[in-house]
Every structure is written in structure tokens, then in C-alpha cells.
Amino acid sequence: MVSSEKLAAVRAPAPIQLPHAQRSSSEKWSSNQQLTLEYAKRQKMSIAWIERKLGRDLFASDEVQRDDENALFVQLRSGVVLRELMEVLAPAHANKMPIARTYSKLLAPWKERENISIFLHDCRM
């Protein structure tokens, strides 16, 4: 026969441990702050790597500052930098079609998508 103590031990569910529930709000903010700092650090590392590969400064124009939180996005948005990277890293696979660098604001979304589509197509080769 099973004792009542053993039966109670079997029936009692183990307490659920939620790591986020045990942290104070300052600890939660600290981890978010760490993620933000890590993102900024990796963005700077990515920009530095791209600049080394291309052999030029990505921020020669005044469109965006190097320390802007969206700096990498702004530089990659048009697809020009991506296509230039493809020409440097895999010239045999790079599309020979000229890179659309200048275009009107009206055509910008299509030209940017075209550059990015060509880059993605070249990556699949």
C-alpha cells in the first residue's frame, strides 16, 4: 500500500519556473539595453566589413550619418551596395547589367527592388 505522503508527492505538480517572471523590470530593461548595444556594435562591424571589401567609405554623402541607428538599412536599401559587393566577392556570378545608381523618386521603388532582385538572383547562382 502507498503511503499518503508518497501519494501527495506524486500528485503535487512541480512549480513552474519562469525566468522572465523572476527578473525585476530593471533587469529586463538591462537585457533590452544590452541587445540594443549588441545590435549597434554588430551594425558597425558590418559597415566596416563592407567598406573594407568595397574599398570605399559608405558615408561619403550626407544622406545618413554613420552613427544613425538605421545607417546600415539606408545604405543597403537601394541594392547598389549589395550589387557592388557581389561584383567584388563573386565576379563570375555577378550580373553584367549596369547597376541602377541614379533614378527619379518616382522610379526609386522599382529600381531599388530591381537591384535587390538581381543581387538575390546572383546569390542563387
| Per-residue burial over 85-107, b = 16 or more CB atoms within 10 Å of its CB, e = otherwise | bbbeeeeeebbeeebbeeeeeee
Whole-model pTM? Answer: 0.68
For residue 55, the 8-state DSSP code is T
Nearest CA-CA partner of 26 in 17, 34, 15: 34
Average pLDDT over residues 58-74: 78
Residues present in the chain in total: 125
Average pLDDT over residues 34-63: 88
Q: pLDDT tens across 82-112, in order?
A: 999 999 999 998 988 888 888 898 999 999 9
Q: pLDDT tens across 20-33, in order?
A: 556 555 565 567 88
What is the grid cell recorded at 62?
550626407
